[in-house]
Structure 1
């Protein structure tokens, strides 16, 4: 619960959520990222708007829902945004938009930014409690030679580092395995001690961390 509380507290602050804000419950309950959509309005005293099945795949239906309920915060995967971005483009201006769960293509980021929304690319595996990094994107941060958008900087109480196969932390600009430490790191896999030992480790400074692979 502490890991989830850390995530919610971070985004409540980063998104400057207030009791006047409405958050869309866009993601199916079986996908872990839905927890942010469900609990963000709970801790802020805001409203939770439940997306209809149509609005999850139909841009026109999403646009109508956003306007009718004056939704301020919307989170979805790149796959979903590709389906609805063009049709919903006229109503995204000024809204806080999160995109995560898959690599975010630069072209999709440009499409969303052109709507006038406040766009963030978020990244993180389930093993570190949904999101571990966040990037507030602008047109100037999207390079023509990149295929996907940057994943940003660590959330509060989160450390991200790159390690060699033997676990040695690597310097900047050296390729290796991305590892994540901090408040969001899980205890391990249920009844899978060997897998837990393989994927989780202990850093001398950051403490318990997860190897993303």
Structure 2
């Protein structure tokens, strides 16, 4: 199924469900989905019923919301569009990494698969967007992105930043100013009550608890 055959609202629901499952092993619920979309649970509940009727999601007895194969196909198309556009905006148009999310949210609904394919080729088929998130390939496969939360890494560990959540632009900007970006090597220090201490480029930086939950790292090769 092609994403452009569906409404913007349906595209957003499917992409949001996929992203929720990408970032967390927890089941996607109506309440959680409503929080992510900024809608009321009753509105989301009605929308999920319609998505189920279209064969795009299903809800097992547990009440969790899962994508069907068709739903996942559309969701991955939308994630691919979004991340290719973010890569293009930063690489070719000079956008900062904390500016691209909202622009891509608008553009992803207006462009075609042909356009995205050409932008992808122009950029040399990048595997990651500016935040380190894997860009789904044209065939729907997603490059592996093994990583763990910064907040869960023990002191003394040397790690490399793999991904940074772009959910909060202000937080993203602060992390960037501290030098915490994909590819940055850092050494974990003490876990404080409200922050995690890390050494970046020889400087000690305190990363707040919420920010530490937005940074994913992998062991140094």
Relative to total residues, which structure has the larger helix share, 1 or 2? Answer: 2
TM-score range, shorter chain: under 0.3
| TM-score normalised to structure 2 length | 0.26
Relative to total residues, which structure has the larger strand share, 1 or 2? Answer: 1
